[in-house]
């Protein structure tokens, strides 16, 4: 019997998927319009609440429909195979390949900054491609080496973030003059249009809380373990995000961070001094190895499901002797390398969070659909707080998506075209399959 991914590995995949470039870059953009400490921290609390509500809903879906593939499995089972196919298409092309490329390039950027000497953009891209290739080779072998690699790098990531936060609290005696107490100005900021824009960044940073559902079919007891894994992993990330942003705001002046991307580096200079720049760059690079690795591992499971269900794409569903979907992993990484080498992923990354949110929204709505249509379906776990919990997620996600359409019509049009293209591929795969 083949080995299985353990609950701790699934939890590590969630944490590693979520904690990536978003939390280390978002604050600089949020500060352009919002400079109230309470309102800024509430962004991350609200994002965490939405993610927890989504995780609770996914726990029910994952326990009732325990097959790898994430939204591909859920949407295809709840709505129609075409919905699942398009979801898998989006996950492969946008949901994973583009963020993997983005994280890998940031890895290359921080790594070259940490090394002595000056390096051109192709060195950065070379390092980015290298980390993707290494992760691909490791995860394409077997679950034992894959799980150990993922768990180890995620543990390093969590330890480094906790150490960074403790250093910010203990080594900086004079905190910045910013208040985190609730205030009228804070509540005014939370009802503004700019706050909705900031929530888009936060939503992208929290993307990945559902990652464990992509490997649920490769867990020994997903009905028992998946709900706990989803909630624990998401809660840990929420705590890390709130703590990180509290420390950023406490140690560094707002003017120094406003409009800047390298928030972690800026905060580190105020904690440790300028000499920490190279160390911080390498530390952030190591954090991103875990993120790249987790997405290389999770994403291909949706492609595997597509290959198993559609004969025309059957090569994606094949597994090696250890039960690992090697072809799907290689295919996704090939798409990722194209993004890295051409840099054409930048426009896609802008709306990748919204596309994944749409996938997750349809899945959470599916909790209601499935309970209505199949009330007798065995549900080893039922969503805590139903129906309020999924409704909170739906409301926050719809609010964010509506604002994306209003403020970013070009990205919304591109997303609609991508969905339509997925529909065309579904039709072609059915014809070729026959």
Find the CATH number of the domain harbouring 373. 1.20.1740.10
Chain-centre distance of CA 67, in angstroms? 20
pLDDT tens-digit profile of 364-421? 999 999 999 999 988 888 888 899 999 999 998 888 788 778 777 777 787 788 788 8
Please report the pLDDT score of residue 365 as a whole number. 95
Provide the 3-class DSSP secondary structure of residue 219. Answer: strand
Rounded Cα gap, residues 27 and 11, in angstroms: 26
- Nearest CA among 239, 241, 248 for reference residue 280: 248
Evaluate whether residue 148 is within a structural domain: yes
Evaluate whether residue 66 is within a structural domain: yes
pLDDT surpasses 90 at 243: yes
119 CB-near residues (< 8 Å, 6+ apart): 112
Evaluate whether residue 2 is within a structural domain: no
State the CB neighbour count (10 A cutoff) for residue 406.
Answer: 11
Q: How does residue 1 score in pLDDT terms, banded at 50, 70 and 90?
A: very low
Evaluate whether residue 1 is within a structural domain: no
Q: Which residue has the tokens 């709900």?
A: 227
Residues 48-77 have a mean pLDDT of 83
Residues 348-376 have a mean pLDDT of 83
Q: 70-104 burial by CB neighbour count: b if 16+ within 10 A, else e? A: bbbbbbbbbbebebbbbbbbbbbbbbbbbbbbbbb
Domain count, the chain: 1
DSSP codes, 396-418? HHHHHHHHHHHH-HHHHHHHHHH
Evaluate whether residue 125 is within a structural domain: yes
Please report the pLDDT score of residue 68 as a whole number. 64
pLDDT tens-digit profile of 118-132? 777 788 889 989 999
Q: Which among 44-58, 111-125, 239-253 has the top mean pLDDT?
A: 239-253
Please report the pLDDT score of residue 345 as a whole number. 42
Question: Residue 32 belongs to what domain range?
Answer: 7-433
Please report the pLDDT score of residue 368 as a whole number. 96
């Amino acid at each position: 019997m083949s080995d299985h991914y353990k609950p701790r590995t699934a939890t590590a995949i969630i944490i590693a998927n979520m904690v990536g470039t978003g939390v280390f870059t978002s604050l600089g953009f949020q500060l352009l319009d919002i400079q109230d400490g309470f309102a800024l921290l509430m962004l991350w609390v609200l994002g965490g609440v939405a993610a927890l509500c989504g995780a609770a809903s996914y726990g029910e879906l994952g326990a009732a429909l325990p097959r790898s593939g994430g939204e591909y499995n859920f949407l295809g089972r709840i709505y129609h195979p075409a919905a699942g196919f398009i979801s898998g298409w989006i996950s492969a092309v946008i949901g994973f390949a583009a963020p993997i490329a983005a994280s890998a390039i940031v890895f290359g950027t921080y790594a070259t900054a940490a090394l002595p000497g000056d390096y051109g953009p192709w060195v950065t891209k070379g390092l980015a491609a290298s980390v993707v290739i290494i992760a691909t080779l490791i995860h394409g072998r077997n679950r034992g080496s894959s799980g150990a690699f993922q768990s180890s790098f995620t543990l390093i990531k969590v330890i480094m973030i906790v150490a960074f936060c403790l250093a910010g609290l203990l080594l900086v005696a004079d905190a910045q003059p910013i208040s985190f107490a609730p205030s009228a100005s804070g509540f005014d900021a939370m009802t503004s249009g700019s706050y909705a824009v900031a929530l888009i960044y936060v939503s992208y940073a929290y993307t990945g809380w559902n990652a464990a559902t992509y490997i649920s079919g490769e867990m020994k007891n997903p009905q028992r373990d998946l709900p706990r894994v989803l909630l624990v992993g998401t809660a840990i990330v929420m705590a890390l995000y709130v703590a990180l942003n509290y420390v950023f705001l406490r140690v560094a002046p707002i003017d120094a961070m406003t409009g800047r991307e390298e928030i972690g580096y800026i905060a580190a200079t105020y904690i440790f001094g300028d000499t920490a720049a190279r160390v911080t760059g390498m530390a952030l690079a190591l954090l991103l190895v875990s993120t790249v690795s987790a997405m290389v591992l999770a994403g291909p499971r949706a492609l595997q499901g597509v290959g198993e269900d559609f004969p025309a794409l059957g090569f994606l569903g094949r597994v090696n002797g250890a039960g690992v979907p090697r072809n799907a992993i290689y295919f996704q990484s090939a798409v990722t390398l194209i993004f890295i080498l051409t840099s054409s992923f930048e426009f896609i990354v802008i709306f990748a969070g919204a596309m994944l949110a749409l996938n997750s929204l349809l899945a959470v709505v599916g909790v209601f659909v499935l309970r209505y249509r199949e009330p007798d379906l065995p549900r080893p776990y039922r969503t805590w707080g139903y129906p309020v919990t999924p409704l909170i997620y739906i409301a926050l996600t719809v609010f964010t998506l509506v604002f994306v359409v209003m403020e970013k019509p070009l990205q919304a049009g591109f997303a609609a075209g991508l969905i339509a293209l997925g529909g065309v591929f579904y039709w072609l795969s059915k014809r070729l399959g026959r």
